[in-house]
Amino acid sequence: MGDMRKDYVSERFMIVSKKDDKVIDPKKLPFAPGHEAMTNPSVLSLVAREGMLQRLQDNEDEYVENWSIRVFESKNPIVSIDAENSYSDKPFYSEPAYGYHYIVVASPNPKDTFATIDIEQWSNVLVVVQDRLRWLYTQKGVTYVSIFGDHGELAGNKNPHPHLNLLTLSTIPPIIEEESEASHKILNEKGVCHMCQTVNEEIGGPRQVLQTEGFIAFCPWTPSYPYEFWISPKKHTTHFSKITQKEINDLALILRSTLGGLSKTVKNVSYNLVFHLSPEKKNSRQIHWHIEVYPITKSWSGLERGYGIHLNDISPEQAAEKLGIACRKELANLVGIL
C-alpha cells in the first residue's frame, strides 16, 4: 500500500495511494445488486423483511440478496491495515497509510443519488454509519474516523451508486486539528463554543438556508465554494455517535431537503459531503460536529490554489436566498405540505 507524507514545513499531508492493477470498471456497476462478488464481502447488509430491517452479512461465496444498504471494505482502499510499517524523517517525513476504509452503499438503485433517496433510507444510512463509527473507534491504531461522500465526476466519484466512505487515520487531520485548536482557544478566552455562537447568529439571518427542529443549514460567512453550505445541530453537541434516533431522523430530513434543493438550484452539480466530527479518543479537544457540503461549480484559480484566498462569483447571502427557496419547496414536498 501507499504512504502518508507530510509537507516540508507545514501541517499538510498527502497520501500516495497505490491502486490495485485490477481496478474494477465503475461502468460495470460493482455496487449493484447481483454484482456483490465484485466487491469485498459485506460486513453488514440491511434487508427489509416483513416490515422489519434485518442485519445480515455475506458468508464466503454466499451473498445477501435484496439488500437496501450494504457495507464492505473498499476493494481499492486509500489506507490499509496491511500498510508497511516504515517511517522516514524530516524533511521527507512519511508514515504508513494505516487504517480502515469502508464503503456504505446508500441505495441498491444506481439511478438514485443523495438528493433522491427518501428520508427513511437516509435515516437508516445514518444509523449504519453511526454503528460503524463506534466500532472503528474500538480498533487499534484508529485516531480519527473521516466520513465523506462524493457526488459527480468533478467531485471525484465515477461510481453511479450513492455511497459514503468511512476512512480511518492514525493522526488527526490538519483541518480538524486546526478547527479544534481554534475552538478551544475561543472557549478559553470567551467561555463559549464558537459554533454555538455561529448558529445563534445565523438562525433567521440572511445566510440561513433551512432549519428543522434540531438542525440549521446555512451558507458560511467565508465559503470556499459557491453555494457551499453547512448543517449543524442547534444545540451544543460534540459526538455524532451519541445522537438519538429522533435526532437522526431530523438530520435525515434536513440532509435530504438541502441536497434536493441544491440539485434543483444548480443543475448537474457535483459536490463533496464531509462530516466534521470530534476525535473520539480521550484527551482529544472536541468540536461542535457538523456537516459541510462543497458544490464544485468551477475550477480554482492560481490565487485559490497558490495562496488559499478563495474567489466566489455569488455571495453566501445570494446563495442562501436561492438555496432557501428550493430547499423549502423540497421540504414541503417531503413532509406532504404541497
Lowest pLDDT segment from 1-10, 188-197, 237-246: 1-10
Mean pLDDT of the 41-53 span: 91
Q: At 80, which amino acid appears?
A: S
- Which residues face 46 on adjacent strands? 55, 69
Q: In sequence order, what DSSP letters do the residues of 92-131 get, joined into one string?
A: S-EEE-B--EEEEE--S-TT--TTTS-HHHHHHHHHHHHH
Where does 174-335 sit in CATH, by number? 3.30.428.10
Domain boundaries, the chain: 20-75+99-169, 174-335
Could you read off the pLDDT of 20-31 as tens digits, one per residue? Answer: 655 566 678 899
User: pTM surpassing 0.85?
Assistant: yes
User: Rounded to an integer, what distance in angstroms lies between the CA atom of residue 230 and that of residue 78?
Assistant: 26
Which CATH architecture best describes the domain 20-75+99-169? 2-Layer Sandwich (3.30)
Establish whether domains 20-75+99-169 and 174-335 are of one fold: yes
Could you read off the pLDDT of 83-94 as tens digits, one per residue? Answer: 777 778 888 878
The three cell numbers of residue 317 are 447571502
Q: Let me know how long the chain is.
A: 338
Residue 158 pLDDT:
82
Could you read off the pLDDT of 292-302 as tens digits, one per residue? Answer: 999 999 999 99
Q: 2, 16 in Cβ contact below 8 A?
A: yes
Look at residue 100 and tell me whether its pLDDT is greater than 80.
yes
Look at residue 168 and tell me whether its pLDDT is greater than 90.
yes
Give CA separation, 73 vs 127, 162, 327, in Å. Answer: 18, 16, 34
Could you read off the pLDDT of 120-142 as tens digits, one per residue? Answer: 999 999 999 999 999 999 999 99
Q: 280, 241 in Cβ contact below 8 A?
A: yes
What strands lie across the sheet with 94-96, from one edge to the other?
A: 13-16, 3-6, 94-96
Q: What is the DSSP letter of 38?
A: G
